Chain A
Amino acid sequence: MDLLPENYKELLLHYIDNWTACHTAPAYLQNLRAQAKGAIQGLSFPTRKMEEWKYTTLDRAIGHQPLPPDPLTGIDPDWLEQYALPGLEATRLVCINGEILYHDPLPKGVRLERLEQWPSHLPEPVPQPHDIFEQIHTALLSSHWVLGVAPGVSVEKPIHCINLIDNRLKNVLCQHGLLMQFGAGAQCNLLETQHCLGKHSALNNSLMQLQLAPNSVVGHVQIQQGHAYQSTVQRTHVYQAGGSTYSNYLFSLSGQIIRNNLHLSLQGEHTEANLYGLYLAKDHTHIDNHTLVDHQVPNCQSNQLYKGVLAGNATGVFNGKIYVRPQAQKTNAYQQNRNLLLSEKATMNTKPQLEIWADDVKCSHGCTIGQLDEGQLFYLQARGIGPEASKAMMVYAFASEIVEKVKNAQVRDYLLGIIANQLNFSID
């Protein structure tokens, strides 16, 4: 490793001072930045001694001393076409280093503003006190952007948030983030993709916060792809009011190190939460998914299915927390984590963590780590399909169960195309 994380922290703090001096912000954000910088001074980068980071170290990503990219302006909409999904009609937002530089005309009932310009009062988002990445995110944030869907509005086309990482000139630390408000009864589908513009090392520090008002319905597809020097630390916080439905589909398909924290707070009765995850890791990729479903009130339901395929020297982590608070009676909470190991060196660490304080609930969990079934492989080969193609076919089938959960056909096709490509597999 080039540098220890502590040295990097000093470098980063020094950089934050310089950066802050030339990036003005409204008073509230200046205060938040200063508080965040103070918090960073007292925090350390995660080590394996911390329970939450027992199996994941970011040394490889931090060793490249990533720093914020230089501002990029003047996006040409035509240039964006390469980041659109084939055949998908969507309203696109383009985000670089936390700034929204371009967006298609917004549909009726959808609003996108900086927080200080938002028409009604919104509480300032305060980073989790002990989370150094959320603090860094706040300390280096240009603006809080808010995306809102008005009550009762059904947004027809998905909103596609294209997160670009400008690593053309140097190793970068990017802050991506969006606050999202869904009014009562609103319906909306979100898609997030990320793309590197260059070849340098990148650490994408993403923070998404979603507020769902009563009876709103939100589908949220997050696709993570990157090259061998691109890492991601992603936080997604979701707050659900009564009767709302939130479905998250998280695809971690390539990169160096990916750490996701998906945190759902079920705050109103009769809410539904669905969490689907698929991770594919090969070579030295490391993918860590931490989920937390916090059942705070009675009569809610959560379903969770995460599947992973690990090859080469790849490592994976799944930690699934389900909290059922004392008052959250009649909770239904399910969790499944299934993993395929394709090589002798691939490793998976999986840990269901159910903490249940209520007594009238239905909760279940299960996790498996296995290999491809010899009997199935023999069957395919006995019909003339070669061994590599047979394996690819079975892995594809394993992975496609999660893809099939996505409702939009173009998004499904896009994902299946990437997966087939990674497996070097084709179904005509």
Chain B
Amino acid sequence: MLQIQNLHASVQGNEILKGINLEIKPGEVHAIMGPNGSGKSTLASVLAGRNDYEVGTGSVRYMGKDLLDMDIETRSREGIFLAFQYPVEIPGVSNTNFMKACVSAHRKHLGLEALKPNEFLKMIREKAALVDLDPKFLHRSVNEGFSGGEKKRNEIFQMAMLNPKLAIMDETDSGLDIDALKVVARGVNALRNSDNAFLVITHYQRLLEYIVPDYVHVLYNGRMVKTGGKELALELEEKGYDWIKEPQTAV
């Protein structure tokens, strides 16, 4: 589904990603862990198409196509979903209208007929229930005045609405208490199937107790330095990150 080869990316001349390799197949859950500043969020942003980053050498193929060549909105319509670390507030646009616009853009791209109003309403109610999102939030402006937990829940709600093939979760656990974390994980687990894949970026092992990964990768200083199974996350939790840090070579 996704093949990343030797990906380099920089921001304002500083190289952040220094040759990333990663392959994700349908049905898999990959976790990327790593200390602060290792490049985890940069990787998520580059995959979603944020243009603050300059992509250097390397390639990213998604469903057989060149991902880096696609517009931001095309990536989304083709099934990539980024759950933001810091979801953006959009005053004046209600969650419902926002989702209506998103869903209709996706369906149009996929050559599907527009949903009838009652079908859309049914869908939005079901998906809100999946993440215990109070229906009153549907009428409120996107993320405006939401608590940290409500914002993250809203991200998973949007994920459920758009039913992506590849969901990238950028530190979705940050700022969540344990109950909210369980709700988010329940939503994600309900969406898991053999056709889709998840890339879970996290600093802590805690989320991975609820969203159990097939692979855990450690990103450090712009490179993948270690890959293992879910036990690697426990090991990191116990020992911290120091032991995986390579000795820095003098330049």
Measured CB to CB, the residues of A under 8 A from B are: 375-376, 378-387, 389, 393-394, 396-398, 400-401, 427-428
Contacts and interface: CB of A to CB of B under 8 A. Distances in A.
A378 B92 contact: no
B76 A393 contact: no
Contacts of A375: 88
A384 B92 contact: no
B105 interface: yes
Contacts of A383: 76, 98, 102, 158, 162
B101 A393 contact: yes
Interface in B71-106: 71-73, 75-77, 82, 84, 87-93, 97-98, 100-102, 104-106
Given A380-B98, A427-B100, 4 more contacts: A376-B88, A382-B76, A384-B77, A400-B92
**Interface majority SS on B: helix, strand, loop or mixed?**
helix
A381 B75 CA distance: 9
Nearest to A381: B72
Contacts of B105: 384-386, 389
B123 to A, nearest CB: 14
B49 interface: yes
Contacts of B88: 375-376, 378-379
B82 A397 contact: no
B72 to A, nearest CB: 4
Contacts of A401: 91-92
Contacts of B73: 381-382, 384-387
B185 interface: no
A380 B100 CA distance: 12
B169 interface: no
Nearest to B97: A427
A394 B76 contact: no
Interface residues of B, number: 32
A393 B48 CA distance: 21
A384 B162 contact: yes
A140 B73 CA distance: 57
Contacts of A397: 90-93, 141
Nearest to B117: A428
B50 interface: yes
A254 B91 CA distance: 25
Nearest to B115: A428
Nearest to A392: B101
Contacts of A398: 92
A384 B48 contact: no
A338 to B, nearest CB: 12
A394 B72 contact: no
Given A379-B88, A382-B49, A385-B105, A393 B72 contact: no
Contacts of A393: 93, 98, 101
A398 B71 CA distance: 25
A381 B93 CA distance: 14
A67 B91 CA distance: 46
B104 A394 contact: no
B92 A382 contact: no
Report which residue of B82, B117, B158 has the largest number of chain A beta carbons within 10 angstroms of its beta carbon: B82
30 contacts: A376-B88, A376-B90, A378-B50, A378-B72, A378-B88, A379-B88, A379-B90, A380-B90, A381-B71, A381-B72, A382-B48, A382-B50, A382-B84, A383-B76, A383-B102, A384-B76, A384-B102, A384-B105, A384-B109, A386-B105, A394-B90, A394-B92, A396-B92, A396-B93, A397-B90, A397-B92, A400-B92, A401-B91, A401-B92, A428-B100
A394 B77 CA distance: 20
Contacts of A382: 48-50, 72-73, 75-76, 82, 84
Q: Find the residue from A379, A387, A389, A398 having the highest chain B CB count within 10 A.
A: A379
Contacts of B48: 382
Contacts of A386: 73, 105
Nearest to B96: A427
Shortest 5 CB-CB contacts between residues of A and residues of B: A397-B92, A384-B76, A379-B88, A381-B72, A383-B102
A375 B45 CA distance: 12
B76 A381 contact: yes
A384 B106 contact: yes
Identify the interface centre among A375, A376, A380, A427: most chain B CB within 10 Å of its CB: A380
Contacts of B91: 397, 401
A380 B91 CA distance: 13
Contacts of B87: 379
Contacts of A396: 92-93
Interface in B101-132: 101-102, 104-106, 109, 114, 117
A249 B104 CA distance: 34
A296 to B, nearest CB: 36
A375 B89 CA distance: 9
